[in-house]
Chains A and B, each alone.
Chain A
């Protein structure tokens, strides 16, 4: 009998607990002793590596919490306001956009620090058993665009695109449109291939939206296979399909060099050196954004940024081993300076 009275008691407790927890949660939202970072899945492995090392070097601080949400969603959360329930750091695989910056300002996030942590490469790869392709940006654009130069895409094999290429069916595994890697692929490779045509250049001035559609829309008839955000899966698919190509982050190429090889783009092979010097077309900078208003309120945030600056150094830091490509010396020096002085970003430089 007592057992079932206890049951009722438990239920009552749970209900009371609901209210109590609600109150405690609010109090918990008022302050925080852990750094919180959100954003790009490309920057995630580097920020987590620093986050892991951080409490080992500074035992008085807790390990930061890093969440991979994608650049766009991360910056949205970051810009939602100032206070403990909003993140302190946003990882971004592209620069912040003007609209996002305006959103920030509107919500009271007036000062942010922009730090470039390094470079990432969008690599094209194929299986080791592949045909050792060498492509140009134009080839890729003509093979993958939905409407190359405004006409429907009829290319079936690479030979249809460029007579010098082998008659191998076009099949490319790549990220879906929601991915930052896809944005970068469209911007760095497709758009450049598109602009190689003079007509498209004039279109860019005349009708920007039309230009974007013609230049970056990818065909949907099966030649380009969207393979989810999981780059490991693309590597597996390439091994199974020696004729196919894959689009993924350079770090995945580097980690799986026994299974896949890089595809030459404009005659340049994707390696650490060619990406670091921006010779390889698929190179893009990676950033972290830090909220100035949180620098005093969140313990350890300043030290965390300082630790990041140590970590990206290609000689003494550990991020190179994780696949991060260090920025050129002058860019690095400038960003170390920003990371120490925490100079806020000048909104005028964003377009």
Chain B
């Protein structure tokens, strides 16, 4: 048994590391190492450059979308043609009284009076809405004069941001000389819904639509996905049927999203007659798309829980359900949540299936619930990129920034959850 190690007939001389042949080989090895390192660095730099290009162009174009130029408009209500009784603007009937008044005409007249003929052209089409708000807030202004800050027209707005045409630049210079213009944060953009006028658009409608749609998706896809993963990993016997199911789920995860849109159109709209353009239908469609991703991530997370934990729990008399819910699921949860959030992030950026089910409509008010018509962030970006008015260019970029921030927050949450709950064996 203990045969001695065979000794070579002629003893080997030790390698001479200083010989030129050996030195040459060592150099070649180091060179290969350096080449590989450099290649890796170049690929990182290329992807970083793409990312930087995307972010810099988006932020460069889009940052302006968050600001807005306003013009100080002096309105002489007492001498205007506005027939409004301040008493009628308190309590019920205020809106009706305001709707009946020709505030639009008064605003245009005030602009012409203050900035010369064509002054109304310097104001946004929705400037009168600011005037109406001012009257609603302080009905007493009706008795005298008031300076009201109203949004500027697109041409003036672009000129203020250094991208205007000749006429806009001239008008802006004139307003600037009169000290009647300021640029500030665009609160409208963050609080209002879509509009046909770039000075009045807001992203909140689409953001809320995205949130509601994501909520419906999560409520449906998460429980179904996690329970499927648990069943397949912990209970299902290994046979031809479960193999078939596994292949189908992997296939489903790779199906292009437009096909889910067609499915949603055929099943939820044409067969079940759910309301068109509603976040409910969008959420259902996206849930179909997200569920396989959750199942796959969930199965991998459950698989990585060491079998010794299951054996130990079973050994001290725990039932199968107790093993799953007391031990396996809590340990697998970080992996499942990461998978879920990545699936949700994909769903958030999805446009194609939502176009099919009509979530691309023009909506002037944010959705109130899951059956109200709504649109979502990527669709809103798509719609704005096709708008005629040039003011929409910066709004499109600003909307992209909002979408990126939303995505970043979701991915950040995924990383946080993973680090917070992850356990290593």
Q: Which residues of A contact B (CB under 8 A)?
A: 1, 4-5, 7, 10-11, 14, 17-18, 21-22, 24-26, 28-29, 34, 36, 41, 44-45, 47-49, 51-52, 55-59, 62-63, 65-68, 85, 229-232, 249, 251-252, 255-256, 258, 318, 321-323
Contacts and interface: CB of A to CB of B under 8 A. Distances in A.
Contacts of B362: 44, 47-48, 51, 65-68
A63 B373 CA distance: 11
B14 to A, nearest CB: 65
Q: Which 7 A-B pairs have the closest CB atoms?
A: A11-B223, A25-B274, A63-B364, A66-B362, A4-B325, A67-B361, A48-B362
Given A59-B99, A67-B277, A258-B165, A318 B373 contact: no
A222 B365 CA distance: 44
A252 B388 CA distance: 6
Contact of B358 (A22, A56, A67): A67
B172 to A, nearest CB: 15
Given A59-B95, A67-B362, A321-B125, A85 B219 contact: no
B252 interface: no
A66 B195 CA distance: 12
B225 to A, nearest CB: 10
A25 B373 contact: no
Interface string B111-155: 000000000000001000100000000000000000000000000
Nearest to A26: B273
B120 to A, nearest CB: 11
B196 A65 contact: no
B223 A14 contact: yes
Interface of B: 95-96, 99, 125, 129, 165-166, 195-197, 219-220, 223-224, 226-227, 272-278, 280, 325-326, 329-330, 358, 360-365, 370-371, 373, 383, 385-390
Interface centre among B129, B223, B383 (most CB of A within 10 A): B223
Contacts of A4: 325-326, 329-330
A149 B41 CA distance: 59
A25 B272 contact: yes
A34 to B, nearest CB: 7
A25 B280 contact: yes
Contacts of A322: 196, 388
Interface SS of chain A: helix, strand, loop or mixed?
A: helix
A56 B129 contact: yes
A17 B283 CA distance: 13
A1 B326 contact: yes
Nearest to A32: B275
Contact of B385 (A48, A52, A63, A232): A232
A231 to B, nearest CB: 8
Contacts of A230: 385-386
B90 to A, nearest CB: 17
Given A318-B125, A321-B125, 5 more contacts: A4-B330, A45-B196, A47-B362, A52-B195, A252-B388
Contact of A1 (B129, B280, B325, B385): B325
B334 to A, nearest CB: 14
A65 B388 contact: no
Given A29-B273, A67-B277, A68-B360, A52 B196 contact: yes
Which of B125, B196, B220, B385 has the most A CB atoms < 10 Å from its CB? B196
Given A1-B326, A28-B371, A56-B99, A18 B220 contact: yes
A51 B364 contact: yes
B3 to A, nearest CB: 60
Contacts of B125: 318, 321
Contacts of A26: 272-274
B219 A14 contact: yes
Given A48-B196, A318-B125, A21 B280 contact: yes
Given A14-B224, A59-B95, A322-B196, A22 B274 contact: yes
A323 B364 contact: no
A49 B223 CA distance: 43
A5 B383 CA distance: 44
Contacts of A25: 272-275, 278, 280, 371
A249 B273 CA distance: 36
